[in-house]
Amino acid sequence: MVYITENQRFFGTADRKVDITPGFLLLAAAFTVLAGPGRALLALAAVAVHELGHLAALALCGAHVTGLRFDIGGGEIQYSNTLSFTGEALAALSGPFAGALLAAGALGAGEITGQAFCYELAGVSLLYTFFNLIPASATDGGRALSALTALALGPEASDKICRAADILCALAVLAGGFYVFWVSRGNATALICAVFLMNACCKKPRFGVK
């Protein structure tokens, strides 16, 4: 069954749906134009494996997944259960772990077959994995940091630590983005990532799997 509203599309059933917003479609189109259709497909494969890693961990933790949401800030899995802080951390880190496994597998396949796309897939998956391990609240690394610090120090201390990490990460990525833009004379990819990170850090909750 397909549900279509003015601002978003739903694919699935009433209790489980995939929400794809126009912002995500715009992001995908921009990436396809800038990187080319081939690399866009590789990025899609990396994102799919990443999300499957989250889904597998959530299933093992007994969470009831109610939907998937894809917007300009990336993908987010929605679930109805409340996980422990340890479960939150494991679920958050399972996506980057799956991405790292994909990168290792693609690299091994490239060594065996000599196919260039295997090396490109390994690189794309590795970059996506590293980006998601940045300790900012909009990423998996930030969510794991939030859960683990809350477990060790309590929610109030965790909130202060994560707010400081958000600011430091956003400034670091922004500085790196300007450097790459200057050195490459026009490559704005890192700057776009910095803008996304700052915007997402202002909007995303502390807990929940991305």
Q: Given pLDDT bands bounded at 50, 70 and 90, which one contains residue 14?
A: very low
pLDDT at 73: 65
Q: 3-class SS at 102?
A: helix
C-alpha to C-alpha distance for 99 and 95, rounded to whole angstroms: 6
Q: Given pLDDT bands bounded at 50, 70 and 90, which one contains residue 65?
A: confident
| pTM across the whole model | 0.77
Model confidence at 210: pLDDT above 80:
no
Hey, what are 52's tokens?
A: 């499957």
pLDDT at 27: 76
C-alpha to C-alpha distance for 63 and 61, rounded to whole angstroms: 6
Q: Given pLDDT bands bounded at 50, 70 and 90, which one contains residue 188?
A: low
Is the Cβ–Cβ distance between 189 and 179 less than 8 Å?
Answer: no
pLDDT at 175: 84
Model confidence at 125: pLDDT above 90:
yes
Domain ranges in the chain are 2-203
Lookup result for tokens 């990170």: 197
Among 34-38, 87-91, 141-145, 172-176, the minimum mean pLDDT is found in 34-38
Q: Given pLDDT bands bounded at 50, 70 and 90, which one contains residue 202?
A: low
